[in-house]
């Protein structure tokens, strides 16, 4: 990837507990293809307030926010877009002359994927997770007309709160429940984590489901996705989510919307 930075180069970044290369490659590829004087870098930090102060102080144009920072960042920004305010979770910060405004493009990505994959609205589902990303996914389901769902979360306080806020039930474990769609919104199956080789749902539940949705993007084929594919189930992957949300972030940072062809080429480059 060729880059010729100068004093006017706009910096963008991401903050994640486990940084990956997808966003870096996706954004920088599009910057180069569209002739934009931007550069993108992935970071992690144990000092979240300090990192956000750095965004403001250094004039960093945009920041993608991933697990586990999606909720903790809220108190550190100046303004919430409606997409973030409605679900109390953010994944994007845009810096305009020191004013930090936060958005949630995860919600947009999930809503689009449910439509593109033609998931029947009458489907029952179980969503494992209760954090910021879980809020985005569950809110997109609720707003899309998916009324027959349960939130599965070991954290009873967070799980019950998420479920009750959206009109769903809560369970600590899936148990004997056999929903038509299984959705993982936890780090289970994520590369580099303690549960990287584990399934987010048991084998019997996967076999009984009609489809599986895993928001974990690294690796692109998690143990859950691999098991579902082996069972012949349709899947929605975290790679699809991260690609669409990254596109919407790109537009917020630059004001430029790539063509569909440019978008698909950037996704292919980022995956390579």
Whether 209 is in a domain gets the answer yes
Mean pLDDT to the nearest integer, 205-215: 98
In the predicted model, what is the mean pLDDT of the chain?
95
Q: Are residues 230 and 259 in the same domain?
A: no
Q: Are residues 213 and 264 in the same domain?
A: no
Mean pLDDT to the nearest integer, 24-39: 97
Note down the domain range covering 266. Answer: 10-103+240-271
pLDDT score of 120: 98
Mean pLDDT to the nearest integer, 196-216: 97
Q: Are residues 83 and 175 in the same domain?
A: no
Whether 5 is in a domain gets the answer no
Q: Are residues 214 and 260 in the same domain?
A: no
Whether 3 is in a domain gets the answer no
Q: Are residues 96 and 117 in the same domain?
A: no
Q: Are residues 210 and 169 in the same domain?
A: yes
Q: Are residues 78 and 130 in the same domain?
A: no
- Which residue of the set 41, 70, 101, 135 is catalytic? 70
- Whether the Cβ atoms of residue 116 and residue 92 lie closer than 8 Å to each other: no
Using the predicted structure, report yes or no on whether residue 126 has a pLDDT greater than 90: yes
Using the predicted structure, report yes or no on whether residue 8 has a pLDDT greater than 90: yes
pLDDT score of 124: 98
Instruction: Express each pLDDT in 129-174 by its tens digit.
Output: 999 899 999 999 999 999 999 999 999 999 999 999 999 999 999 9
Whether 64 is in a domain gets the answer yes
pLDDT score of 67: 81
Q: Are residues 117 and 97 in the same domain?
A: no
Q: Are residues 154 and 177 in the same domain?
A: yes
Instruction: Express each pLDDT in 71-121 by its tens digit.
Output: 999 999 999 998 899 888 899 999 999 999 999 999 999 999 999 999 999
135 is catalytic: no
Using the predicted structure, report yes or no on whether residue 22 has a pLDDT greater than 70: yes
Mean pLDDT to the nearest integer, 119-127: 98
Using the predicted structure, report yes or no on whether residue 1 has a pLDDT greater than 80: no
More confident residue, 271 or 254: 254
Domain of residue 37, CATH code: 3.40.50.10860
Overall number of domains in the chain:
2
pLDDT score of 2: 56
Whether 97 is in a domain gets the answer yes
Q: Are residues 50 and 70 in the same domain?
A: yes
């Amino acid at each position: 990837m060729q880059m010729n930075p100068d004093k006017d180069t706009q910096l963008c970044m991401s903050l994640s507990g486990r940084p990956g290369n997808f966003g870096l490659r996706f954004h920088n590829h599009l910057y180069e293809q569209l002739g934009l004087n931007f550069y993108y870098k992935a970071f992690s930090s144990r000092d979240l307030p300090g990192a956000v102060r750095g965004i403001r102080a250094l004039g960093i144009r945009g920041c993608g926010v991933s697990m586990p920072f999606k909720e903790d960042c809220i108190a550190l920004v100046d303004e919430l877009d409606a997409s973030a305010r409605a679900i109390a979770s953010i994944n994007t910060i845009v810096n305009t002359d020191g004013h930090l405004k936060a958005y949630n493009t995860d919600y947009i990505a999930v809503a689009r994927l449910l439509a593109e994959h033609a998931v029947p609205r009458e489907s029952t589902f179980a969503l494992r997770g209760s954090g910021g990303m879980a809020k985005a996914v569950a809110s997109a389901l609720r707003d899309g007309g998916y009324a027959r769902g349960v939130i599965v979360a070991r954290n009873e306080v967070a799980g019950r709160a998420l479920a009750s806020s959206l009109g769903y039930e809560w369970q600590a474990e899936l148990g004997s429940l056999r929903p038509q769609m299984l959705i993982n919104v936890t780090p289970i199956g994520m590369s580099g984590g303690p549960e990287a080789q584990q399934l987010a749902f048991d084998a019997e539940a996967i076999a009984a489901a009609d489809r599986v949705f895993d928001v974990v993007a690294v690796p692109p084929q998690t143990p859950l996705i691999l098991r579902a594919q082996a069972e012949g189930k349709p899947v929605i992957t975290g790679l699809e989510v991260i690609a669409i949300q990254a596109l919407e972030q790109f537009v917020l940072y630059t004001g430029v919307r790539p063509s569909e062809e440019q978008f698909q080429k950037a996704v292919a480059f980022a995956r390579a």
